[in-house]
Amino acid sequence: MNIYLHHKVKLFIENLQIFQLFNYNKPFIMHEITPKIYSEIAERLTESIRNCNFFSGSVYYTDHDTEYHLVCTIIIRRSKEFTEQGVIEVIRRIIPVWWEFHSLEGGTELCNDFDFGHLASLIEQQ
């Protein structure tokens, strides 16, 4: 068998194995990240970053039988605001260096529609 034909047969077998692995007969379901989930994750991340200008870590949230897990490395830009109570530092911008968001149901990972930009805007508006 020549090398070209051998390569084509090998690719066909690998593609067939991938096809069987993912079982394309199952419907694809996207798990929606609701406003409540965004709010809970934003609250936990805000608590975790406190007065830091840099954060690298994880936050978790469980809702019924679904677990949510955000792992991120972010830079936090702050500015000072003058109020009647004095000077306070507020978060102006969250810059993601790296992040990943997982949703697990019964130990099985679900595809989700998480948007880090939306999460950052919730924290920046507080």
Look at residue 2 and tell me if it is in a domain.
no
CA neighbor of 125 nearest in space, from 90, 95, 101: 90
Q: How confident is the model at residue 25, as a pLDDT?
A: 55
Question: What is the predicted pLDDT for the residue at 7?
Answer: 47
How many structural domains is the chain composed of? 1
What does pTM read for this prediction? 0.75
| 24-57 pLDDT per residue, tens | 555 668 899 999 999 999 999 999 998 899 999 9
Residue 39 placed within a domain: yes
Residue 20 belongs to some domain of the structure: no
**Stretches in the chain below the pLDDT threshold 50:** 1, 4-7, 9, 11, 13, 16, 20-21
* Residues 5, 104: Cα–Cα separation, whole Å: 42
User: Does residue 8 sit within a domain?
Assistant: no
In a domain, 41, yes or no: yes
Residue 23: per-residue pLDDT: 53
**Is residue 32 situated within a structural domain?**
yes
Domain that holds residue 35: 28-124
**Helix pair 116-124, 35-49: axis angle to 10 deg:** 60
Query: In the prediction, which pLDDT does 27 show?
Result: 63
Residue 68 resides in a domain: yes
Residues 6+ apart with CB under 8 A from 12: none
